[in-house]
């Protein structure tokens, strides 16, 4: 019944039932239902709920920080969309909490990769780039974890063909107070 006034609520109900199954297949189907709902009914009274549930479907699929972070990035995107579109929505506190948790998971993953690069001496540049973080980012970095230029043991040679002068420029720009 495409013209039924209950069609929008039925789509949300189907998405909720898929999400309630608790398995990966159900979560993928729930993502599809919530995306369709938002595409067909972007101005519906419960569009905020569909956006939040879309973020939750991705959130429930997030893996550990040592695994692929695709779902984490998708959860961040969906929760950010919720916060941006519905700043006064009834689920804003929950959305912000889940957004923070998703960002923390992604930060932890970035930190672990940078630490692996540093420890395995694969790429000094990769370790430094992951340790500095972007301006305004609250993600953990090597410097916030207690690593300073004096406590970090950088190898004399990296596996890449980066010159010492280039490493020195990166080093001094990463930690301006270092000598």
Residue 59 carries which DSSP code? H
pLDDT tens digits, one per residue of 65-114? 888 999 999 999 999 999 999 999 999 999 999 999 999 999 888 888 87
Determine the Cα–Cα distance for residues 36 and 49; give it in Å rounded to an integer: 13
Tens digits of residue pLDDT in 42-68? 999 999 999 999 999 999 999 988 889
What does the pLDDT look like over 120-176, one tens digit per residue?
766 677 676 666 654 445 544 444 444 444 444 444 444 444 555 565 566 556 555
What string of DSSP letters covers 141-176? -TTTTT--TTT----SS-SS---HHHHHHHHHHHST
Q: How large is the greatest C-alpha to C-alpha distance in the chain, in angstroms?
A: 72
Is the pLDDT at 16 greater than 90, yes or no? yes
Q: Cα 39 to chain center, whole Å?
A: 23
Measuring CA to CA, how many Å separate 96 from each of 37, 52, 92? 22, 10, 6
Q: Which of 116, 133, 139 is nearest to 175 (CA)?
A: 133
Confidence band, pLDDT 50/70/90 cuts, at residue 5: confident
Measured CA to CA, the distance from residue 105 to residue 150 in angstroms comes to 28
């Amino acid at each position: 019944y495409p013209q039924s006034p209950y069609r929008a609520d039925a789509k949300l109900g189907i998405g909720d039932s898929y999400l309630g199954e608790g398995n990966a297949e159900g979560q993928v189907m729930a993502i599809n239902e919530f995306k369709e709902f938002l595409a067909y009914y972007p101005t519906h009274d419960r569009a905020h709920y569909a956006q939040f549930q879309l973020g939750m479907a991705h959130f429930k699929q997030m893996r550990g920080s040592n695994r692929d972070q695709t779902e984490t990035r998708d959860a961040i995107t969906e929760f950010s969309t919720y916060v941006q579109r519905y700043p006064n929505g009834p689920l804003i506190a929950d959305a912000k909490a889940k957004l923070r948790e998703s960002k923390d998971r992604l930060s932890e993953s970035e930190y672990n990769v940078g630490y692996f690069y540093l420890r395995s001496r694969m790429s000094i540049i990769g370790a430094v780039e992951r340790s500095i973080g972007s301006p305004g980012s609250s993600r953990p970095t090597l410097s916030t974890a207690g690593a300073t230029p004096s406590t970090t043991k950088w190898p004399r040679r990296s596996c890449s063909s980066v010159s010492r002068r280039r490493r020195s420029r990166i080093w001094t720009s990463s930690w301006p107070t270092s000598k």
